[in-house]
Structure 1
Amino acid sequence: MAIETTSFESRGERCAATWYLPDAVGERWPCVVLANGFSGTRDWILPDFCRRFAAAGIAALAFDYRHLGESGGAPRQIVDVGEQRADLLAALAHARRDPRIDPRRVALWGTSLGGSHALTVAADDPDLAALILNMPAIDALSGANVEEKRKRAGVSRARTVAITLRLVGAALRDLSRAARRADPLYLGVYGEPGEAFFTDPELAPRFRRVAEGSPTWQNRVAARFLLGAPRYRSGTFERVKAPILICLAEHDLEVSADFIRAKAKGAARVDIRTYPVGHFDLYHGDAFEQVAADQVAFLRAHLGPR
């Protein structure tokens, strides 16, 4: 396997990217383009999947969204759904232009928020060869496990409402700052209730490891994201022409597996796998090994020789 740094342009800004290339010569390679989740940079989670895909003979392209990691864009640490989807489209075009890649055998892979991006892009791309959705966060309201998260945290409904109002207030103040071109108002990716997006105490070790092992990742995102979080548009799954593999976590507190199953029923070709773990567990240990093996098998089946 070879690892190469590369870049492409998205709406006038440079997006930093990395190729993971198979150790093979001859015919053009199939390829999968990976879209990371909320606040994710290409040195977090993605390398483990990319290495598995490249070892299986499938080129993998990971990239940083604008405003994050090593990509351009100011101010920093902005997560904008529409802009990130534009970055994914630019990454897909970059992969298809590469002379080493077979443009007829290109797949998309998206995890969490990136799953929402990948699904939306795939719905408008009839030439896509395959789509993998890893715990896709396709709807921030209807598709979120708000009640289960409240119970896990042991927080009353009244306290939940108060925390929600505090977060929305921060988002509104941040939006006002954006209109005045002032510095963003940031919330933690992980932290205390009312001050961060993820607050489950059991996630603390996970995020400590992220901070230690992913040097370009930052534990902060502009609060305005809350006012532009993704909502599912009815009929999106039905418009996807490519075969779909959906990997769900049975004990996911961030994404409702039931919601995903219900919406995916309309897809023409879909394989849904459920694993007995939580949302972030699919990235680690035995669960990761099983998920990666299933995804490699799926990609081999649908990106095989011409």
Structure 2
Amino acid sequence: MSADDQPEYRRTDEWFDSEGVRCAVAVYRPTGTSADAPAVVMAHGFGTPRAVRLYAYAEVFARAGYTVLVFDYRHFGDSDGQPRQLLDIGKQLVDWTNAVAYARTLDGIDSARIVGWGTSFAGGHVLTRAGTGENFAAVIAQVPHVDGLAAVRATGLRRTIRVAPSAVVDQIRALLGRSPRYVESVGAPGDVAVMSTPDAAPGRDLLLAESGLKAGDYPETVAARVLLRIGLYSPGKTASDIACPVLMQIMSEDAVTPAAVAEKVARKISDVTVHIHKGGHFDPYVQPLFPVIVAEQLEFLKRTVPVR
């Protein structure tokens, strides 16, 4: 399919149910095609709503003939769920299961060819789902979280000490049924924030700008209790059980999901394509690297899950 005859798409804003909570999902359906299309199911990383750059990827895939579903986890973005900004790893994995199940109910979908697309924390989620029984046709994991202890080590002792009191207080408040203690998701070095590497705040600002958003359009906090659990969440543990093709894109200077650890996990996957790029954790989403990253993803899709 050449660039000149790529089909266009239409977008509808829909909902699916996840344990009684409505999750928002944007569905991009290619037009001008008659055969059932493969579907790409997408979600964002740590505490980030789908509106931050994911639509740019979805538009590329939809123009190439793929149906694309981009969803927000419960408690985040345009989805329901109280309290807000609550990142529960187990619940997010269930949201993934329910999003994929919803995709399989849609007309015009080839239900046997569903692709899981995740970035950063969600890159870990799609690897976890693929390694624990989800029947994906393929997986795209962009700068994925693969090892909890490695992520904690990458954070560094000083930054960990800064956020630890908030995490403990929030966990106590949760046990008492009180509202969350929040911590900033992104901050400058020295701030009390989950990600406070030198590239974090500038990277966040670029993502917002290229998404047509500004600071304050969406909350940029997370209930701090999740920080007590990140070190225990290691999607790489089930990587050897993944049966479908996987594309893993790694950044050589990634200070959030270290490259060496991601490469080690990639070697456990039987059918894996690895691309390593120079840059940091936030570079794949924006210029000048974004066109390269999304072109690799599209080439992988066309090779492993082609549009018929």
The TM-score with structure 1 as length reference comes to 0.90
The residue number in structure 2 matching 1:195 is 192
Q: 1:235 to 1:137 in 2, by over 3 A?
A: closer
Distance 1:234 1:276 in 2: 22
Alignment match, 1:232: 234
Closer/same/farther in 2, CA of residues 116 and 258 from structure 1, 3 Å limit: same
Which of 130, 134, 144 is the matching residue for 2:142? 134
Partner of 2:82: 74
Q: Does 1:266 align with 2:268?
A: yes
Distance 1:202 1:265 in 2: 28
- CA distance in 2: counterparts of 1:126 and 1:201, whole angstroms: 37
Q: Which residue in 1 is equivalent to 2:4?
A: none
The CA deviation at 1:140 is 2.6
Structure 2 residue aligned with 1:223: 224
Within 5 A, what are the aligned runs for 1:91-130? 91-125=99-133, 127-130=135-138
Matched, 1:172 2:168: yes
**After superposition, what is the alpha-carbon deviation per residue over 1:74-109, rounded to whole angstroms, capped at 9, x for unaligned?**
110111111111111110000011121101111101
**Contact map agreement 1:238 1:268 (CA 8 A) in 2:** yes
SS of the residue aligned with 1:41?
A: coil
Describe the SS at the equivalent of 1:285: coil
Q: State the distance in 1 between where 2:142 and 2:163 align.
A: 27
Q: Which residue of 2 aligns with 1:37?
A: 45
The percent identity for this pair of structures is 33
Q: Encode CA deviations 1:192-222: one digit per residue, 9 max, x unaligned.
A: 5351111134433332355563475311111
Distance 1:11 1:208 in 2: 34
Residue 208, structure 1, aligned to residue 205, structure 2: yes
Q: State how far apart, in whole Å, the 2-side matches of 1:22 and 1:196 are.
A: 40
> Bigger shift: 171-180 or 136-145?
136-145
1:3 and 2:4 matched: no
Q: Secondary structure at the match of 1:286?
A: coil
Deviation at 1:145, TM superposition (A): 6.0
**In 2 relative to 1, CA 279–234 (structure 1 residues): closer, same or farther, beyond 3 Å?**
closer
* Letter of the 2:15 counterpart: S
User: Quick one: distance in 2 between partners of 1:28 and 1:208?
Assistant: 38
Q: 1:135 Cα deviation (Å)? A: 0.7
Provide the C-alpha distance between the structure 2 equivalents of 1:132 and 1:144, rounded to a whole number of angstroms.
24
CA contact (8 A) 1:41 1:216 kept: no
Where in structure 2 are there 5+ consecutive unaligned residues?
A: 1-8
Cα distance in 2, alignment partners of residues 188 and 25 from structure 1 = 44
Cα separation, 1, equivalents of 2:236 and 2:103: 29
Counterpart amino acid of 1:17?
V
What residue in structure 1 maps to residue 250 of structure 2? 248
Question: Pairwise mapping of residues 40-79 of structure 1 onto structure 2 (< 5 A)?
Answer: 40-79=48-87
* Secondary structure, counterpart of 1:253 in structure 2: coil
TM-aligned CA deviation for residue 187 of structure 1: 0.5
Q: Would the alpha carbon gap of residues 209 and 279 (structure 1) be closer, same or farther in structure 2, given more than 3 Å must change?
A: closer
SS in structure 2 of the partner of residue 93 of structure 1 = helix
Long gaps (5+) in structure 1: 151-159
Residue pair 1:145, 1:256 contacting (<8 A) in 2 also: no
The residue that corresponds to 2:95 in the other structure is 87
Give the paired residue count.
294
Quote the offset at 1:267 in angstroms: 1.1
Change (3 A) 1:143 1:235: same
Change over 3 Å in CA distance of 1:166–1:64 after alignment to 2: same
Q: Secondary structure at the match of 1:279?
A: coil
Report if aligned partners of 2:254, 2:279 keep a CA contact under 8 Å in 1. Answer: yes
Q: Do 2:33 and 2:65's aligned partners in 1 also have CA atoms closer than 8 Å?
A: no
Q: Hey, what's the Cα distance between the residues in 1 that align with 2:57 and 2:109?
A: 19
Q: Does the 8 Å contact 1:34/1:61 carry over to 2? A: yes
| SS of structure 1 residue aligned to 2:148 | coil
- CA shift digits 1:269-299 (9 cap, x unpaired): 0110011111100101121101100100111
CA deviations 1:157-200 (Å, max 9, x no partner) are: xxx34x42332221111011111121110101122535111113
Query: Which secondary structure does the structure 2 equivalent of 1:241 belong to?
Result: coil
What's the RMSD between the two structures over aligned residues?
1.9
Q: Say whether the 8 Å CA contact 2:131–2:238 is kept in structure 1.
A: yes
1:9-37 per-residue CA deviation (whole Å, 9 max, x = no partner) reads 00110001101121223111111101210
- Conserved 8 A contact 2:42-2:71: yes
